[in-house]
């Protein structure tokens, strides 16, 4: 699996904002992230969110993102708009659900699809939620601590 880019945010814009306006916490592209076993990504909004949380880290395919952008007719959006942590290339993330896998020496357990919600229509473009169904990315648990770096 190639790690194309990495993103973190210190706060929630959509999660927990049902019936409200989204938050204004920027998503920040970073060169590396520290994955902490059982806790999440240091500096990210879900770090220490709750014990054994299924979304300690999220993965999203650049290929899926490009297809969705074409389908909904949006221009040059950053894949950070999807608010996933690890943008991957060359892997079908759905095949990792229920599997242990290793990226750059860090071990993960794929838990479930990171299902798209209605906020995707606002974050990416109208129609994005529908276009992402069944391929919204992967929620995973961190099984060993370590660093992930973009471009590897």
Q: What are the pLDDT digits (tens) for 85-100?
A: 999 999 999 999 999 9
Query: Using the 8-state DSSP alphabet, how is residue 28 labeled?
Result: E
Closest CA to 52 of 148, 143, 137: 143
Return the percent helix, strand and coil in the chain, to nearest 5. Answer: 20, 30, 50
CA distance 133 to 1: 22
CA distance 88 to 111: 17
Distances (CA, A) of 75 to 4, 57, 65, 84: 19, 27, 12, 19
What pLDDT is attached to residue 121? Answer: 86
What pLDDT is attached to residue 17? Answer: 44
The CATH T-level fold of domain 2-17+25-149 is M1 Pyruvate Kinase; Domain 3 (2.40.33)
What pLDDT is attached to residue 25? Answer: 65
What pLDDT is attached to residue 122? Answer: 81
Distances (CA, A) of 122 to 74, 118, 127: 12, 8, 9
Please identify which residue in the block is written with the tokens 């942590």: 85
Q: Yes or no: say if 59 and 85 are a contact pair by the CB < 8 Å rule.
A: yes
Pairing of strands 57-61, 86-89: parallel
152 residues of the chain, pLDDT tens digit each = 999 999 999 865 555 545 656 556 678 999 999 999 999 999 999 999 988 899 999 999 999 999 999 999 987 689 988 889 999 999 999 999 999 999 999 999 999 999 888 778 888 899 999 999 999 999 999 999 999 999 99
């Amino acid at each position: 699996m190639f790690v194309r880019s990495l993103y973190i945010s210190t706060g929630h814009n959509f999660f927990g904002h049902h019936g409200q306006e989204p938050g204004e916490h920027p998503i920040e592209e970073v060169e590396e992230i520290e994955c902490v076993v059982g806790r999440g990504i240091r500096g990210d909004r879900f770090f220490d969110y709750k014990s054994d949380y299924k979304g300690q880290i999220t993965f999203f395919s650049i290929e899926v993102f490009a297809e969705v952008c074409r389908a909904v007719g949006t221009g040059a959006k950053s894949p950070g708009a999807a608010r996933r942590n690890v943008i991957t290339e060359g892997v079908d993330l759905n095949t990792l659900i229920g599997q242990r896998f290793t990226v750059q020496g860090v071990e993960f357990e794929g838990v479930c699809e990171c299902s798209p919600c209605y906020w995707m229509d606002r974050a990416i473009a109208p129609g994005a939620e529908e276009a992402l169904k069944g391929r919204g990315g992967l929620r995973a648990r961190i099984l060993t601590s370590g660093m992930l770096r973009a471009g590897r």
